[in-house]
Amino acid sequence: MFLEIVQLTVYGIVLGSVISLGAIGLSLLYGILRFAHFAHGDVMTVGAYLALAGVAGLGLPMWAAFGLAVAGGVALAILIDQALYRRLRRTAPVILLISSVGVALILRSLVQFIWGPDTQVYTQELQMPMRLLDIKLKSTQLQIVAGTVALVVVLHLFLTRTRMGKAMRAMADNPDLARVVGIDTERVVVWTWAIGAALAVAAGIFLGMDTRLQPTMGWHVLLPVFAATILGGIGKPYGAIVGGMVVGIASELSTMVFPPVYKPAVAFALMVAMLLVRPTGLFGAPR
Amino acid sequence: MSLLEMTGIRGGYGAGDDILKGIDLRVEAGEIVVVVGPNGAGKSTAMKAVFGMVNVREGRMIFDGMDIMRCRSDRLARLGISYVPQENNVFASMTVHENLEMGGFIRRDDFAGQLDRVYDIFPPLKEKRGARAGALSGGQRQMVAMGRALMLEPKLLLLDEPTAGLSPAFTDLIFEKIVEVNSAGVSILMVEQNAKQALGIAHRGYVLALGANRHEDTGANLLANREVADMFLGG
Amino acid sequence: MDLFELFTFAVFFLTLVGIYGILALGLNVQWGMTGLFNIGIAGFFAIGAYTSAIMTTPASSGHVGGFGLPMPVGLVLGVLFSSFIALLVGLITLNLREDYLAIATIGIAEIIRLVLKNEEWLTNGVRGIAGIPRPFAGWFEDPTGVTNLLVVCLVIVMVYAALERGRQSPWGRVMRAIREREVAVMAAGKDIVRFRLESFVLGSAIMGLAGGLYAHFFGFVSPEAFDPMYTTFLIWVMLIAGGSGNNRGALLGALAIWTIWAGTEYLTNRFAPPEFLTRAATVRMLLVGLLLEVILLTRPAGLLPEAHFVARADDRRSTAPGTSDSGDGDD
C-alpha cells in the first residue's frame, strides 16, 4: 500500500509538472493582463501538435521539434493578442473572457481540421518503464520532470535577474504603480504572452509525451490548470508550481479511491475548497 | 515660468460628475507646495489629474514649459515627475532593493549612485533592503515609496497624503525627510490631511473645498489665517 | 422534397430553434440581466434532459429507471434538479470574482459530463437513454412533430412573458443596477449575492427546462448530445449576436445562429464530397468561432443592442492607485 502511494506520487509529480507549466503561464497572464485566458489549454494543444508536425511530418528529432513548436506557439499567441485581445482590452473584462473561449474553440477546430479527431502519438515504440527501487518510471516521464525543472530555473532567472522579468513581476504586483514608474506596459504584455505561450507549448508537448495527442487534450486539462492557478494565487508563478504539484499528486492519489476518469473532478474539488477557505490562494494576500 | 502650472482644471472619474470644478495650482522650482482641504475637496483628484488618471474635460497643464495634458505615465516619468500614491504605493511582493530598482527602471544610465543616496536619506531601508516591501510597517513602506520615487532624480515630486496612518514619530520623520529632499533641489507638491504640520514646512499652500480653490497663500500666512484655522486646523 | 417533408423539416428546425431560444433566454437572465458568466450551460441543459429521461422512461436492465412518470412531472423534476445544482455552485462562487464563476461553471459542466459518460448504472453511459415519451404520446399520432413545436412555442411564450414582467419589476431593476455596478447597490453588500444567486438559479432552471423539452422532443439522450463545447458555445454566440441583455435579442440570435449552423450543415451535406463530410462540422465550428470574434470586434452589442451593454471605456482607464478598483483589486 505504501508502495502504491509512492508510485502514485511519482505519477503525480509527472502530471503536476505538466499542470504547473500550464498554470505558471496562466497565472502570469491572469496577473498581468487581468483576464482568465480560457484558450490556454488549447495553446497547449497547438504546441503539442506543432511538435508532432515536426517529428512526424518533418522527421526532426524531438528537441528540434520542441524548439519549433515553442517558436510557433509564441508567434501565434502574440498574433492573437495583437489582432484580437488588444482591441478588446478597453471593453468590459468579460468580453475578453468570451473572446478567449472563442479562440479556444477556433484553435481546437483548427487542430482537428488539420490533424483529424483520432488520437496520435509522437512515437510508435513502446516504452518499457525502468524500475528504481520497485518504482516504475518511464524515461519520458523522467525527461518531463527534468525538462520542467530546467524551464522553471530559466524562468526564475529571467524573473529575478533581467530587466523585463522584474518589470513583469512589478506589473503583476501592482499595474497602476508599474505605469507610474514608467514601465512600458504594452511591451510587458507582449513578453508575457511569449513566456506564457512558451510554457504552455512545453506543457502540451510533455502531456502528449506522457499520454497521447488528441484535439481536446488541452481543454480537458484546463480545469486542473485553473485549479492549480487558483490554489497558488493569481499572479504568483511560484505559487502556480506548488498548486500544480498539489493538484497533480492529489489527482493521482485519488485513483486509489475513485475511478481515474474523475481526476479532473478532484482538481475541481481542491479548487472549490480553496475558494471557500482562502480565495486568494496559498500565496496570495489574505483578505 | 513656473515648474508646474495647472489652470482651470475641470473633470472627474470616467463618465462621472466633475469632482474638480476649475482648479488652479502652481509650483515654482524649489518650492514645497501643500494642498489641504476637507474630505471630498478633490485634493487627491487634483494630483491624480497630473498623472492622467482623471478624465480632464477642461483646463491646461504645463510642466517645465511643456503641455502634459494627455501624456502617458512613462513620458511623465521621463520628463522628471515622480508620483507617490496614497495607497498601494509599493510593489509588495518585491524586496525593498527591487522596489528602488523599479524606481530607476526607465533610466538607461547607471543609477547605483542614486541608490546609495536614497539609502543615505533613509538609513532604515539599507538595513531592510532584502525584505519584502509588503511585510514592512506603514512608516517603512512610506519610506520605500518615497525612495522609489526619488530614484528618478525627479524635478517634481508629487506626494499624496504621505503621513496618512503613520504614528506621530514617523510623521515627524517623513516631514523631516521631505524638507531634506527639497533642500537637495526637488520641488514638492503635497496633499496632506495633517494640515498644520504640512503648512509648517510649506513655502506655499492651497486650500481646496468642494473641488475649487478657496485660499492660496504662503504656508505661514495660511497657518495664521482665522478662517482656515476654523475650517479644520483643529488638530 | 414534397410538401409533407418540407413541413416536417420546418417543424423540426423551428422546434430546435425554440429549444435553443429557451436556453438563450436562460443565459440572458444570468448574463444579460446580471452579468454572470456561465460557461456550463451544457451541464444544466444535460441535467434537465437526463432527469426527465430517467424519471419518465420505462424500466430498463441497463440503468435506474422505471418510474414511468408523466412528462410534465419529468420536466418539473429536471428543473428542480438543475436549480439545486445551480444553487450549490452559486453559493460557493457568487461572492467572488466573475471569472471564478466562469471557471466553476466549466468545472461543473465537466463533472456532469464525466458522470453522464461513466455512471452507467444511472445514465446508461455512452449508450444513452432511449424511449423517452413524446408529449401526448399514446393520445394521438403525430408524424410531423408539430405538437412538439406547439409545446415549445407555448413554453417560450410563457418564459418570455414571465421574464419581461420580471424585468420591469423592482427585482429586475435591482438586477440591472447590479450589472451596471452602481455604487449604491454595492453598498448594500450582502444582498447583491442573494440577487445574483436568484438570477443564477433562475437562469439554470430555464436551461433545465429546455433540456427536458429536448429529451422529450428527440426521444433519446446521450452524453454526446450535450458536448459542452458545441452547446455552450453556440448559445453564447446566439446571445452575443442577438443582443445581450435583451430577451428578444436572445430569441433572434437563436434563430439567426441556428439558421447559419443548420444551413451550413445542409449545404455541406448536399454539396461536399463524402470524404470531406467528417471535417465539415469542424470547419463550421471554426467559422462560428471566427464569427463570434468578428462580432465582438465590430459590434459587440449585437443585433438588438441593449442601451448600457457596451461598458464605458473611460472606466477602465481612470482607475488609480489608492482608489478601490471595482471588482479587480483583490490581488
Q: Render pLDDT for B15-25 as a digit per residue (tens, 0 to 9).
A: 778 888 888 99
Supply the mean pLDDT for chain C: 79
Residue C148's pLDDT is what?
80
Other residues' Cβ atoms within 10 Å of the Cβ of residue C127: 12
pLDDT at C26 over 70: yes
* Domain assignment present for C278: no
Instruction: Tell me if C269 is assigned to some domain.
Output: no
Compute CA distances C269 → A29, A115, C258, C266, whole Å: 41, 21, 16, 5
Chain C residue with the nearest C-alpha to that of A280: C331
Residues of A with a Cβ under 8 Å from any B Cβ are 163, 166-167, 169-170, 173-174, 176-184, 236, 285
At B31-62, the pLDDT tens digits run 999 998 887 788 888 888 888 788 888 889 99
Using a CB-CB distance cutoff of 8 angstroms, which residues of chain B are in contact with residue C312?
A: 14-15
Tell me what ipTM this predicted complex has.
Answer: 0.87
Q: What long-range pairs does B117-123 form, CB within 8 A, spacing at least 24?
A: B117/B150, B118/B147, B118/B150, B118/B151, B119/B147, B121/B147, B121/B150, B121/B177, B121/B180, B121/B181, B122/B146, B122/B147, B122/B177
Q: How confident is the model at residue C42 (pLDDT cuts 50, 70, 90)?
A: very high
For each of chain A's 287 residues, which pLDDT tens digit applies? 788 888 899 999 999 999 999 999 999 998 888 888 999 999 999 999 999 999 888 888 888 999 999 999 999 999 999 999 998 887 777 788 889 999 999 999 999 999 988 888 887 777 778 887 778 888 889 999 999 999 999 999 999 999 999 999 999 888 889 988 989 888 999 999 999 999 999 999 999 999 989 999 998 899 999 999 999 988 888 899 999 999 999 999 999 998 888 888 999 999 888 888 887 888 776 54
* Mean pLDDT in residue range C230-236: 88
Q: Which amino acid is at C215?
A: A
B48 inside 8 A of chain C by CB: yes
The pLDDT of residue A71 is: 96
CA distance A5 to A254: 10
Instruction: Give per-residue pLDDT as tens, C202-225.
Output: 999 999 999 999 988 888 888 888
Structure confidence at residue C300 (pLDDT): 67
- Percent of chain B whose pLDDT exceeds 90: 34
Q: How many CB atoms lie within 10 A of CB B31?
A: 20
The range of the structural domain enclosing residue C168 comes to 3-223
Cα separation of B205 and A73, whole Å? 57
C323, pLDDT greater than 50? no
Query: Do C315 and B15 make contact, defined as CB atoms within 8 angstroms?
Result: yes
- Min mean pLDDT across A169-183, C40-54, C256-270, C303-317 is at C303-317
Q: What per-residue confidence (pLDDT) applies to C179?
A: 67
Interface probe for B, chosen from C310, C317, C318, C325 (most Cβ of B below 10 Å), is C318
Cβ <8 Å between C318 and B88: no
**What residues does each domain of chain A span?**
6-116+132-216
Q: Give the number of domains in chain C.
A: 1
pLDDT bucket at B2, cuts 50 / 70 / 90: confident
Reported as a pLDDT band with limits 50, 70 and 90, residue C303 is low
Q: Which residues of C touch A38 (CB under 8 A)?
A: 39, 102, 106
C310 dihedral zone (left: phi>0; alpha: psi -120 to 50; beta): beta
- Whether residue C311 has pLDDT greater than 80: no
Residue that has been written with the C-alpha cell 417543424 in this structure: C11
* C285 reaches A (C-beta below 8 A): yes
Residue A5 distance to chain B (closest CA, Å): 36
Residue of C312, C318, C322 with shortest CB distance to B54: C318
Interface of A with C in 137-166 (CB under 8 A): none
Q: How confident is the model at residue C268 (pLDDT cuts 50, 70, 90)?
A: confident
Instruction: Look at A275 and C92 and tell me if their CB atoms are within 8 Å.
Output: yes
The answer to whether residue C166 sits within a structural domain is: yes
Chain C closest-CA separation from residue A146 CA (Å): 30
Kindly determine whether residue A98 and residue C107, on different chains, have CB atoms separated by under 8 Å.
Answer: no
Per-residue burial over C269-280, b if 16 or more Cβ lie within 10 Å, else e, is eeeeeeeeeebb
Residue C211 lies in a domain: yes
Q: CA–CA distance from C173 to each of C166, C168, C169, C180, C244 (Å)?
A: 9, 7, 6, 11, 16
Rounded to the nearest angstrom, the minimum Cα separation between B175 and chain C is: 21
Chains that touch C (3 or more CB pairs under 8 A): A, B
